[in-house]
Each structure stands twice: as C-alpha cells, then as structure tokens.
Copies of this chain bind each other. A is one copy, B any other.
Amino acid sequence: VLAQLQNAPCLRIPLKDGFALPENFAELAEGANIAMLARPNAPTGNSFPKKDVERLCASFKGIVLIDEAYVDFAEDDCVDFVKRFPNAIISRTFSKSRSLAGLRFGYALANERIIEGMMKVKDSYNVNYLTQRLALASLKAPAYLAATVAKVKASREKLAEELRKLGFKVEPSQTNFLFAAPPSGDGKAFFLALRERKILVRYFPGPRTGTYVRITVGTPEQMDAFVAAAKSALKA
C-alpha cells in the first residue's frame, strides 16, 4: 500500500509448490530496491529453510526485508543476518505473540548504516509515550511471553491433529495460525459454512490459496467450538 502511494512499482514473486521460496528469487527480483518476504510466511504458516534466505541476502543487490512477525512461534530466526549481511533488515511486531495488537508497535533490526538511513526519514515522536512504556513493560515480562507462546503452540498442534483426522490437508505451521484445506478443496464454501455457524476464519481467493482457510489459534474453548463447527460444516 505504501509503495503504491509513492507510485513505486511492485512485483509479486510467486512461491513454488509447497509454498517454498524460489531458488532464483534474487534473479527474479533483479533491479528492485527491496525484496520482501515473511518468515514464517503468512497466510501459509510455513517457514523457509534459513539457507534459502541466506542465499537471497548474499546474491540480491538491494535490501532484503525479512518480516519476522510470527517468529516467536517458530523454530528459529534470522537475527544473526543483521551482523552477517549489510543488506538485511528484520522487522518484528508486538501484535502477535505479545498480544498487544492495539499498541501498533513494531521494530526493525539492521546494521547501523541502514538504521541511520531509517532515522533520517522517521517522523518525529512516531511512538507515543504510553506505547513506549507498555512496550518496555512487555519486554520485561519474558515469562508471560514464553507461557503464551507455549499455550498457542500446544493448541496449534492439537488442532492440526484434529483437522488431519477430519481429512484436512494441514500445512506445517510455525505461526499462531493453521493454513488448512478442507477435504472438498473448496476453501470458500468451508469459510461460508463456518460463517453461518458464527465462526470467522480468513479465506484468500486464488488458484492455490483458495483451497485453504487460515485458522487463528485461540483459547482451548475457542478451538473446541471451532472443531465442533467444522465437523458440522463438513456434514452439511
């Protein structure tokens, strides 16, 4: 959206089968100033092998922005890239694992030269006082974060198992959601059937994504309600 506002051309690079990063990403993106990817990815939920992102950073001429919004639910991160690649930026948010979406607080990690450039175009007072204080309070409560993440991961694995039993194709997830395709392969029909049952999931139209829905992992009670609705929807 921000690129469009500046009339900056945007090029979409499709993932390969299995939602994998194309080996020739750097080549496909040649000439661009920034290559962006989310790791773990959204809405598919999978992560990319670290060496694939490494290869991109090493071979791409511009900035590589790695959005780690869901990293706290993942098995590893790319934070070491900041010291290893002068063109890597890691972005993170307090909106997911820290349950602070209302705060609109995020941050970037990159080498000094990149951060200096970002500071030059940063608006004054871009993070207000309360947000600063609350973000700091969150950083000082690592045990709460760890407990939340552990609960979400446990619920995620339980849900994945239940969905697979029901015949869903469930993508491996390193996030707080599951990307799951109903047995019919009709994501939209399943989304609509769930909506009738007052359960909202996300549906992404498209030849590949359209066979899935994205299910955010909630509390155990919410997941029980979801599974009951999913069973009812499959029967209907």
Which of A's residues lie within 8 Å of B, judged by CB? 1-2, 5, 102-105, 120-121, 123-126, 128-131, 134
Contacts and interface: CB of A to CB of B under 8 A. Distances in A.
Nearest to A125: B104
21 contacts: A1-B124, A2-B123, A5-B120, A5-B121, A102-B128, A102-B129, A102-B130, A103-B128, A103-B129, A103-B130, A104-B125, A104-B126, A104-B128, A104-B129, A105-B128, A128-B128, A128-B131, A130-B130, A130-B131, A130-B134, A131-B131
A5 B105 CA distance: 23
As for how many copies of this chain the complex holds, the number is 2
A89 to B, nearest CB: 18
Q: Chain A's interface: helix, strand, loop or mixed, by majority?
A: helix
Contacts of A5: 120-121
A154 to B, nearest CB: 28
Contacts of A134: 130
A6 to B, nearest CB: 9
A67 to B, nearest CB: 15
A154 B1 CA distance: 48
A104 to B, nearest CB: 4
A93 to B, nearest CB: 11
Contacts of A124: 1
Contacts of A103: 128-130
A143 to B, nearest CB: 23
A129 to B, nearest CB: 3
Contacts of A102: 128-130
Nearest to A132: B102
Given A2-B123, A103-B130, A104-B129, 8 more contacts: A102-B129, A102-B130, A103-B129, A104-B128, A128-B128, A128-B131, A130-B130, A131-B131
Nearest to A102: B129
A128 B102 CA distance: 6
A126 B131 CA distance: 13
A123 B1 CA distance: 8
